[in-house]
Structure formats: C-alpha cells, structure tokens
Structure 1
Amino acid sequence: MSTNQKSLGYGRDIFREDHEAFRSTVRNFFQKEIEPYVRQWEDDGFYPAELFRKAGKLGLLCVGIPEEYGGGGGDILHHMVLHEEHGYSPAGASLEAGLQTDSSAYVILDAGTEEQKRNWLPKMAAGEEIMELALSEPSAGSDAKGIKTRAKRDGSDYVINGSKMWVSNGPVLTQLLVVAKCKSDDGEDGLAIFIVPAGARGVTVSRKTELLLRGCGGVSEAFFDDVRIPAENVLGGSTRGGLGAAMSTITVGRMAAASRFLAASELALSLTVDYTKERSAFQKRIFDFQLTQSKLATMKTEIAAGRAFVDSCLARAASGTLSNDESAMAKLFVSEVEGRVMDESLQLHGAMGFSDENPISKMYAFARVHRIFLGTSEILRLSIARGM
C-alpha cells in the first residue's frame, strides 16, 4: 500500500479525533482479519460468520447504536466511517455487503418495541446475530408496494408465505426482517415487518446467488412456506407502518452507500496512478502520456466534486438536517462518478485490470450494481424531480 493510500479518508474537517481513531481501528481490522484471507474465502464460497464476532469484540458493529442497547454509543459519522473503510480496502468489493448490517439495527432502533431493542441490538452489536432486511421480491424492487409475501393471523401467531431475493449475507445470516402484506385489526391491507429466524421451520435460504461479481460475500433468496411466527415478533408490535419502518433509514443508508462508493473511487484512482507510473510502453511511463494525464485529471476532478458534496451532506446528517433529496442526489451522483472512475481505471490498467488477481476487476464489477440498489438512478431522478 502506497503512502497516498494509507492517508485516504484522514484529515477531513467533518471528523473528530474519536472518528479518526475509530477509522484506524476499522482499517487495522481489514488489514489483519480480512485482506490476508479474502482469496481463501472466495475459494470457500463465503466468508465465515466468525468474522462478525471478531468485529463485535472490537466494537465495530452497531457503533452508532446507543450504549443502553449494547451499541457503541457513537454518532452517525462513526457509522459512515465503517462504510468508508469497506470502500478504502482492496478487499471491500469482494466482501460486498460485508459487515454493514447496521441498517437492520437502525430499523429495530427506530421501529422496534423496547423489548425488541433490548433483546436484539446487543446480540447484533456482539456479532452473535446477523440480521438483514428482506424486502425485495421477483416482482417488487423499487416498487415496494408490489410485495406479494403475505402474513396471516392464526390465533396468537402469524403464518408467512412468499419469497424474497437479494437478501444480503444470506449464507451466514441468523435472522431476517421480513416485510410482508398483512391485514390490520381494522381489516385493511398494509405492510408489516416480522423478525424471522433463518432456521425456523418452513424457511429456506438458498445458497449464494451467482452474480457478475464473484467475491466472498453475496446475496441469497429466501422462501417462506407456512412459517409460523409469534405475534411478539411483529416489529414494533403493530401490523401497520411496515413500509415506513423499512424505509425509515433510507436517507442514512444512501449516504452510507455514497460514502463507500466515493472511498472506492479514491482507492481506484490511487491504484491507477501508481500503476501508470510503474508501467511503461514505447520507452515511456504510461503516466507520461498526455491522454493518460487527461483521463486521470478528469477522474480526480469528479471525485473532488463528489467529496465536497458528500462531506457537506455528512455534516448535515450529523446535525440531523439532511433531507431525503440531498441523500438521493449524493447516491445518484457518486454512484455514476464511481462507474466512470472504475471504467477508466480498468482501461488504464489494460489487460491487467481484467485479471482476477487485480482488485480493480472486482471493484469494477461491484460498482455496476451501485446504480441499481437503494434506488436505481432512474428512480432517484424521478424522486429528486418531484421535490422541485
């Protein structure tokens, strides 16, 4: 790792000393506990669940959750640092979702009953429970109201039938937050969230779905066949407001995504600059060709523009004044910048960029999906336009 890569992320005005110290802890964890083993995990098919317990012991999980619920007691910027460090690590793309289960924790924090918070959040912070939101279906992605999975009341239980896809960390998760249609007490159809053990009778979680990116992380499908869940597992104790609860963290989620995408772009640029200075063609460094410099300058400029906007959004997120439109714009802009940066980075690496041995190849593949999840670029543009 070059001196420039070691300094990535540090020295920005929005972060305090405790944020910088947390960044160092996370970065050391990636360098010692993840990067040396990622190739073996790719061969194995998935990283081990033990990784979460190791991270939990160091206080890396649920760092923004209050201490009274077992979290780290930090703020939203600690949460963003964890996401950035996924992006700054050469192994980050292979991990895919990786340690980023905090979105589920925030859903429980925002919408769960007091008993649910005290039961689940400490276990998630310790890495003992790995919980993911199960929202998307074959016919319902951006249009969450098209969900077909249904929960029906049966005595003191609910019986769930349906299926989900794109469930992060499928092979290692222990609990699912399942969004399902359900009739409320007044007979109206609504959406509710159910805490469903991955090992419950009638639950089948598939093997990792084969994707364009072949890393050590991934997603799975989940199937529910007459899965019986006690009423106490209804998130918040109510069968109303499930979609609102699921979407309650979307603003923070999009900022976390933008932070990770931008960090990965910075890493890609640094790796590409190093490579073009080391590689020669026609008795000249690749870096010294005018066209190469033009491409690198454009990449640096777009990243700098993204950094200025993202950091201003993070400052507003820390003060509680960030709007949905701003987070949508950040995710939209940065994901598209990342796509261009990864494309040019791979191009400037030549055939070596296409090699599985080079982190740029996985970073390139992972970047492509970033214009799709958490709102496609098209959906985000429509959302932003509606606010004009």
Structure 2
Amino acid sequence: MKAMVYRGPYKIRVEEKPDPKIEHPNDAIVRVELASICGSDLHLYHGMMPDTRIGHTFGHEFIGTIEQVGSSVQNVKIGDRVMVPFNIYCGSCFFCARGLFSNCHNVNANATAVGGIYGYSHTSGGYDGGQAERVRVPFADVGPSVIPEGITDENALLLTDAFSTGYFGAQLADIVEGDTAVVFGAGPVGLAAARSCWLMGAGRVIVVDYLDFRLEKAKTFAFAETVNFGQMGDIVRYLKRATDGLGADVAIDAVGAEADGHVMQHVTAAKLKMQGGSPVALNWAIDSVRKGGTVSVMGAYGPLFSAVKFGDAMNKGLTIRTNQAPVKRQWPRLWEHIRNGIIMPSDLITHRIPLDEIAEGYHLFSSKLDDCIKPVVTPA
C-alpha cells in the first residue's frame, strides 16, 4: 500500500509499505477513504516529540471501510463504513470503565499517562496511522463506529479528533451560563472549542491568535470576538481590561506545544529533545483568567518539562482541568447537533490533498500558507 512515511524533521515521503495484517483476533483492517493533517502531526513533523521513529506513518484522524476483521470482532463487519476515534483503547480496564478512553491502561507499554494514539510517536504506543491506504485498528469492537445516517463523510472525519477535542475542551472549562470564555489558538481545535463554548452556555467568547485569516474564521465559524496578540503590547493586560479588570471566567489553551514566539522551544525540542512544549499560551491562560476561574487544557504537550507558572495558578485559586479527549464519549451529542444544523464541523476544511501530494500539504499547513486551516487527505 501507499503510505506517508517519516524520514526526519520536515522530511516526509509517500512510499510503498506492507499492507497491515490482523495481529490479534479483535483487530480490523480499514481501507482509508479520508484522513487529515492535524496540528498535533506538526509536532512530529517538526521533530519536537520524543521517540518519533523513522519509517512511522502519521495520521490519527481517518474514516474508511472495514476490509478484514479478526475472529473475535462482533460489532463491525466487512463492508461497514466507520469513523475511528484517535484514541486506541481496550474498553474494559479501570480507566475505560470510567469513560477515560484516552488513559487506557492496556494499549501503551511506553507511558503511564496517555493511552494509545494512531500515528503518533512511540510515547503513544507506536501505532501506524491513517495517512495511508490502509490501517490496522486494534480493539475494533470498542473503537470504530459505523457512520450514522445524516452524517457526511467530512463531518465524520472532523469528529475523529479536531471538533470532538474542541468540544471536550469547552466541557472541561465547566462553563456557567453567562461566563466569559477566552480561547487561545484559532486552529481547528480552538475554533471548535470557541463554537462549543456557546453550546455550554457562555455569554461571551474571545479568541486569541496572531494570524488574521484564522481570526476571521473565528468570527464566521465561532461567532467570537477576536484579538491579534501580535498587535498587542501585553495580551494579558488587554484581556484584563476587556473583562472589567477581573479576567475571564474560563480560559482554554488550544495551542499546546507550539505557542508562537518561543524560539527556544524549537531549538530545545528539535535538537536536544529537552522540552515537551512552550508554556506561552498556558501561562497567558493562567494570567488572564480571574481568581477562582478555570483553565482548560487540551492543546497537545509532550511528556517532558514545561515551565508553567504553577505558583500563580495556586495563589489565584484556579481549577486546571486537562486531558486528551475521550473522543467517542462526545459523539452521540455531536451527531445530534449536526443533524439539527447547530454545528457543521466540515466548514473548518480549507484544503483537500491527494495522498501522493501530502508532503506539500504538510508544508502548506506548517507554514500557514494559502490560508490553510484544515487539510484533508484523500488516499484513493
């Protein structure tokens, strides 16, 4: 099969790889019909995540058709068209039983925190991802869901991570009706979080970024106020003044490890593998939220050191809520919102790229060219 293959920082190719095989009775093989490039993939592309290995195939957002199933699989069958959450999880361990699918205890021997993730570094289990013609899907009875009627392919694709994660970020923020929410980052996840804040009852939503085309999308997609931090001398002071000197009720960090302006982040992460992510956006969130407020973090950080202003968070009495999104938990409610016309996740898509041209897609997305917000990959 054809697959995207990592050859080092900023170096990816499309190569022939062996077709994936059934390795366990509960596996399935999915022929990929749509995949996408996520901002988290850029952390790997830039060489910022530890243990990203040569030859690995990225991609944790994908949908497709079941081609093979293991002997134990009962809930999906050959020919089913499925959407696959980015989380790989067993469905039966202590954490899965509590709905913490992203913290599954049985799918990742390399970490004690995160469970398995398709197409990410080996700190997340080393599973090949969906930027390929086919992918092996472990625990096929608990992960994939048949795409429901009324849900288009592109909407289903956006629910495998980006929109579900943004929605989860708004959930973590524990918004009370009428709250002011500040969202840092206007990439796909931040835009989804901002849109979802309204669904949680927010009375005011402010999105912070530095790219005008993404801020414009925040106005049209998320109906949010926008602030370009590149044009502000002190973004925290601006946000305090915009909220009667108190600060926002909640702040959502949808940036993670690539907060703009932290030059040493790229140096230390790519060259020395010593930093799990720049704390710029997270520290802005801590500083700009009011005392007693809530900070929600679902931006992707690595497993290593990040210099977070935890003392300030403690002294302000903040609640900090974090996790990788347990994606499948969000789907029933999001399916209903889509069917009712309340949200349309596919409106985030700006580019559709053949698998053979995925290197150009990564370049466009990484370099913020051509107003690229969300690129979709078509393997066929």
TM bucket (normalised to shorter chain) is: under 0.3
Flag the structure with higher strand content.
Answer: 2
TM-score by length of 2: 0.26
Q: TM-score, normalised by structure 1?
A: 0.25
- Identify the structure with the greater helix proportion: 1
> Which protein is bigger by CA-based radius of gyration?
1
